[in-house]
Structure 1
């Protein structure tokens, strides 16, 4: 560094604000009926984009995990930032779709319906949890709180991997009904 002592920053208020705003906006938009007669483009392309962004997030997270296990911290950081980038793009696309389109009901039944709703519910609950977890994990790294970062990352990484993977799975299961 440049001789100055490193100053830790308190990101907690920002993490709380971002978490509440993001989760609240998504919750509210999930209940909105959608814009009537929107025809500027076929909005059913957005769920496919969501799945693509989730796929890239999953791949970036796996690469970040492999990098850190090999001790390549700078490579790990780059893949984590890439995962945040694709997650941000996912959020923009997801919110846009839910603002512009009505909710799509799942049309399957039997075992498939039970499987779909189990995956969907766990995905939603853990997606809400991952927002503050991921933000807390990255800010601990920024503050060079390495032990605290590692401790929370052991929870954040598998949950984020699950959320990104099941996001793709939810798309695959519901895509025939768009």
Structure 2
């Protein structure tokens, strides 16, 4: 009974966090500190760091699945906690970068923040490929928030049957978000404005 009550207690928290994080990121994404009068240097060094954070998250997720399949529950817990911590670090760096820097435009080879017809021709269908990856990455990164929290709370509540069921859904989506975060960075990095 105690395990069920822990899950019920955490439900409101999970719902709140699952709404607050995407809304806050969307709002902060549009805020530029310079526009607010703050003289802040662009944090242009962050994208390769947060892309690496995504890559390490993917590795930790895979290692955590291997650990639990080999009966190493404590190692699994540590790896999953590390993956959550890295995801939070990614989020903080991502928002900090976008609050201090202009967003790159995929295909903008001359870095004027306008995708001109000649640039569109040069990148061709790669832009569609990039946008599909980016859009699915964004949508699933929002959807994964409650899934990760529910999965984590079920483990804390030692409700391992329910934990395992949702983890089978959470894992591939979270892995996709982590891997596509790296792919998006690699594709957009030539177009960053420094």
Structure 1 length normalisation: TM-score? 0.90
In the TM superposition, what whole-angstrom CA distance separates every residue of 1:1-60 from its partner, at most 9, and x where no partner exists?
A: xxxx85541211111111111111112223335635876544111111110110111111
Q: What's the counterpart of residue 166 of structure 1?
A: 180
2:166 to 147, 152, 156: 152
Q: Size of the alignment, in residue pairs?
A: 174
Q: What's the counterpart of residue 20 of structure 1?
A: 19
- Point out where structure 2 has 5 or more consecutive residues left out of the alignment: 108-119
Confirm or deny: 8 A CA contact 2:34 2:40 kept in the other structure.
Answer: no
- Residue 119 of structure 1 deviates from its aligned partner by 0.4
SS of residue paired to 2:167:
helix
Based on CA coordinates, which of the two structures has the bigger radius of gyration? 2
SS of residue paired to 1:11:
helix
Equivalent runs, 1:80-99 vs 2, <5 Å: 80-99=80-99
Confirm or deny: 8 A CA contact 1:130 1:159 kept in the other structure.
Answer: yes
- Residue 76 of structure 1 deviates from its aligned partner by 0.5
- Residue 79 of structure 1 deviates from its aligned partner by 0.3
In the TM superposition, what whole-angstrom CA distance separates every residue of 1:120-170 from its partner, at most 9, and x where no partner exists?
A: 000000000011100010001101111110110011000000000000000
SS of residue paired to 1:147:
helix
Equivalent runs, 1:2-151 vs 2, <5 Å: 6=2, 8-9=5-6, 10-33=9-32, 35-36=34-35, 40-107=40-107, 109-151=123-165
Structure 2 length normalisation: TM-score? 0.83
Runs of 4+ in 1 over 4 A off after TM superposition: 36-42
Q: What's the counterpart of residue 112 of structure 2?
A: none
